[in-house]
Amino acid sequence: MIPALLTAVLFACSALFGQRAAQLWGPLRANALRLSLASAVLGALTLALDALGQQSSLAAGVFPWFFLSGLLGFGLGDIGLFLAYPRLGARQTILVNFSLGTLCAAWGDHWLLGEPLARPQWLGVAIVLSGLGVALWPSRTEGGAAALSPWSGWAFACLAGGGQGLGTTLSGWANRVADAQQVSVHGISQAFQRSTAGVLVGILAWGAWQGAQKTRGRAGEERSGGRLAVGASISPRRAAGAIVGAAFFGPVAGVSCYQWARLHLPSAVVVALAATSALWVIPLAKWLDGDHPTRRQILGTGVAVAGIAVLCLAGKAG
């Protein structure tokens, strides 16, 4: 349970750094850079830990499953989120992503792994997602991008949720294959093997975007922040720090803890607990940016904490 909760905190920090990185570098370029940096760091850490343990965590029969898991989670999941944000709005995108991701993870574990959730676990997951809904559902007075193209936004958010949920299930399947081949794959190595697919998709998406802009004969990405937006008030060090922070708290530390949690918890529980990262952003935003939470956000956070308590009790009972 602790690795999953730690994942949520790390993902919250990653979201704040990632938002700044996207503003300074452009979304697709920032995504490709953070994943490339994270994959290099994770690869070095994997080789170092394997050398200390005198046993390789990389196996030809296991890697394709982690790669496919990363292709769905890092690849389709991140691209779906990027396309959903401007169409549906950040709050509803997060809700759809994690809610559907939890359901897809539960279905995937039941169908592929034969590991259905127990009733107490379903109750805890439902309470956590309810708290997320109370805290993040936009009010009528709030503006946003949801009115632009809500149907396509929901479609892309569903793509993100499905990729995340099924990618988490495939991580569980990869662990089974590793156990069958007597290969020990720690969380950092799992994150590295999954990140390789994310780097591939991220670079291809960035390249495709640039190619599309050149074909249209305009510098669209440059106007939207595709190049480093360093002005009088923005230093290159701060811009680089945004990429480093997004890489460390997300793919490096966050996903490593995420994979660590998946070794001990069902996929749906891991996704549901990771969903509370959206709630951890609330106090972090208050601390860093002076953004005060609303009563509804506080209430939703309390409900989600109650759901976490139910999941803890269910785990002890199990």
Domain boundaries, the chain: 2-317
Q: What's the rounded Cα separation, in Å, for the pair 13 and 57?
A: 28
Q: What's the rounded Cα separation, in Å, for the pair 227 and 229?
A: 6
* Confidence (pLDDT) at 137: 76
DSSP assignment of 42-56 equals: HHHHHHHHHHHHTS-
* Confidence (pLDDT) at 219: 47
pTM value > 0.95: no
* Confidence (pLDDT) at 244: 93
Q: What's the rounded Cα separation, in Å, for the pair 313 and 306?
A: 11
Report helix, strand or coil for 229. coil
* Confidence (pLDDT) at 70: 93
Q: Residue 289, exposed/middle/buried by CB under 10 A (0-12, 13-18, 19+)?
A: exposed
* Confidence (pLDDT) at 305: 84
* Confidence (pLDDT) at 231: 43
Q: What's the rounded Cα separation, in Å, for the pair 186 and 188?
A: 6
* Confidence (pLDDT) at 317: 55
H helix runs in the chain, sequence order: 2-25, 27-53, 63-70, 78-88, 90-108, 119-136, 150-180, 187-216, 220-223, 236-247, 253-262, 267-275, 277-289, 295-317
Q: At what angle do helices 253-262 and 2-25 cross, to 10 degrees?
A: 150
Low-confidence ranges of the chain (pLDDT < 50): 143-147, 219-226, 230-232
